[in-house]
Structure 1
């Protein structure tokens, strides 16, 4: 307190002290004499907090008619079950994640409005019409002119199929010859093809050969499909009506250089279990054909190509060819068209 304020209050304090001594009134009351205290409002006292109700916020409607003894003896787990829904029918807590799954949603929402039996009949009819759809494709993988050292020739390799995704009728044909001469060798196969997985088909049927030598008919069993890295592979075994056994493996792969320019290496090898002199086939590995063709896809369905092909007869087959005055191997420059529809 400043000195001036103290000097200003001193006469008041002195006067209050003299008045209190003269009248016998306490000094603190003497200092408030003349003040109107009736207009002053004192703050209302804050009530002390009462006890907390443990059932505050709980729905006690279901326990109104329960005797007090039963309400007090109700298990805590039953009360918790009404709050959390975490207990099972036995009243014991379930482990997290053990709740039953929700019901499976129907795949036919129309069942909510129409007779489910009628909707099931309609769905079966729809699957019968569209689930069994058939397709077809005809592919000429090779249709080419071969310029050889000597007499030029030709070659074809074609396939076609008709059916669905699982079962199909497959037809294959391949052959070669020289211009101005009968066909050296040709064959046609009619096969039933069954898909055993998304990439492989098992095939069985018959094969008919024609060309030089006597014709032969064979039973066929084989497999074809797409191996890892997109190799098109096939392997077949043949048994003729004369008991001759042949086998063949073949494969190719499309190496895409650009979106339209594609290089296709190709391999075919033929085997025989025994000599077949009338057809010029020796036992063991009879011949191998290697090819390399570069095609340009004007469209996916039509692609001209050029390349090279090398054919080599081996072992007894080569010996039989030389005995007949034929060459055992030859290389060709090829030009052709690959197309499908």
Structure 2
């Protein structure tokens, strides 16, 4: 019974197809081959039922189908749902037999299948970045298009203002066996963020007279956020012969917050010198700070009038513990070791004094 029904349905479908082909002007169907056509239709129905259960082909799958001719496809006219259930071979055959103009991206050309103007690989011809700017593009360095502030005063940036500051790093009493001296070390600057004038002074006063004094007038230029280069002059006075120097160096904070002053000097007599001072603030608490400090001086020639020897002339190393009542005001106490070397040490010993000594210091650090 089922076979008869199937044969009847197949025959009706063949008749319907024959009628449709006749209306389109194609050759009539030979009814003597109904049984062969029915078998072919049943096979085709089973094939389509099987393909209908398969997942729909995606655009990626279509792009990777071997043997598929992209030149005739027009994605703008394709129905996505009509491709569901089709196998690659079905779509290949449909593309080859339909004769439709299938143009990727709707591109037009002189003949079907001409893809010379297309770039499927994302090459340079379709690149969306780089290349020359359009001829009417705005100049990136002239966003105002020539307009200025007019009668309105131009805004003044923060790095254009002049500021000043005074820092007294050491103002202390230094006590050794049998003597007491006053030591000072201060610097003041005035200027802008990148360029400023700097005065730096350090010395020792003993028995009311300057035992040693170093005064510098420098021009400082910022090369990083925490480091300045310096160029200027230095003048030594006090005991011995006064001398003038040309100075150049750096000053500021190195990585890990190490403060440094490194300055080289040269004078008209051909003498050269180098001074290095380093400090580091170790915060025990927010207000209690331990500061190690080292200062060394090197000279190319000895100067007996100023107790200076060639090479490493002297070194000072100490620890100071300060308490910041305010950031701008901090008293401190500490200990320092000082020594002279070479001919300077020999001259000091000949005068009946020690070339090496330990000092107790007490003072105040302030700035405003």
TM-score norm. by structure 2 comes to 0.63
Quick check: 1:326 aligned with 2:353? yes
Conserved 8 A contact 1:294-1:307: yes
1:302 counterpart (292, 314, 329): 329
Task: Write out aligned runs for 1:178-193 (5 A).
Answer: 178=206, 180-193=207-220
Q: Which residue does the alignment assign to 2:119?
A: 92
- Cα distance in 2 for partners of 1:95, 1:148 equals 82
Quick check: 1:218 aligned with 2:245? yes
1:253 counterpart (256, 261, 280): 280
- Cα distance in 1 for partners of 2:151, 2:302 equals 61
Conserved 8 A contact 1:136-1:162: yes
- Cα distance in 2 for partners of 1:74, 1:306 equals 95
Q: CA RMSD in A?
A: 3.3
Q: Which residue does the alignment assign to 1:29?
A: none
- Cα distance in 1 for partners of 2:302, 2:159 equals 49
Quick check: 1:134 aligned with 2:167? no
Q: Which residue does the alignment assign to 1:118?
A: 147
Q: Which residue does the alignment assign to 2:265?
A: 238
Q: Which residue does the alignment assign to 1:164?
A: 192
Task: Write out aligned runs for 1:34-113 (5 A).
Answer: 54=77, 76-79=103-106, 90-93=117-120, 95=122, 98-100=127-129
Q: Which residue does the alignment assign to 2:204?
A: 176
Task: Report the alpha carbon displacement of residue 210 of structure 1 after superposing the two structures with TM.
Answer: 1.2
Q: Which residue does the alignment assign to 1:44?
A: none
Task: Report the alpha carbon displacement of residue 54 of structure 1 after superposing the two structures with TM.
Answer: 4.8
- Cα distance in 2 for partners of 1:123, 1:164 equals 24
The unaligned stretches of length 5 or more in structure 1 are 1-52, 58-71, 82-88
Q: Which residue does the alignment assign to 2:234?
A: 207
Q: Which residue does the alignment assign to 2:320?
A: 293
1:288-327 C-alpha deviation (Å, 9 max, x unpaired): 1011000001111111111111111112110122223433
- Change in CA separation of 1:224 and 1:80 when aligned onto 2, cut-off 3 Å: same
Conserved 8 A contact 1:77-1:92: no
Conserved 8 A contact 2:318-2:335: yes
- Cα distance in 2 for partners of 1:131, 1:93 equals 53
Quick check: 1:148 aligned with 2:176? yes
Conserved 8 A contact 2:159-2:192: no
Conserved 8 A contact 1:216-1:241: no
1:47-84 C-alpha deviation (Å, 9 max, x unpaired): xxxxxx95679xxxxxxxxxxxxxx9766124289xxx
- Change in CA separation of 1:116 and 1:54 when aligned onto 2, cut-off 3 Å: closer
- Cα distance in 2 for partners of 1:296, 1:152 equals 23
- Cα distance in 1 for partners of 2:266, 2:345 equals 22
Conserved 8 A contact 1:192-1:203: yes
What secondary structure sits across from 2:256 in the alignment? coil
Q: Which residue does the alignment assign to 1:278?
A: 305
Task: Report the alpha carbon displacement of residue 200 of structure 1 after superposing the two structures with TM.
Answer: 2.2
Aligned length: 261
Conserved 8 A contact 2:239-2:305: no
- Change in CA separation of 1:79 and 1:222 when aligned onto 2, cut-off 3 Å: same
- Cα distance in 2 for partners of 1:282, 1:338 equals 31
Task: Report the alpha carbon displacement of residue 170 of structure 1 after superposing the two structures with TM.
Answer: 1.2
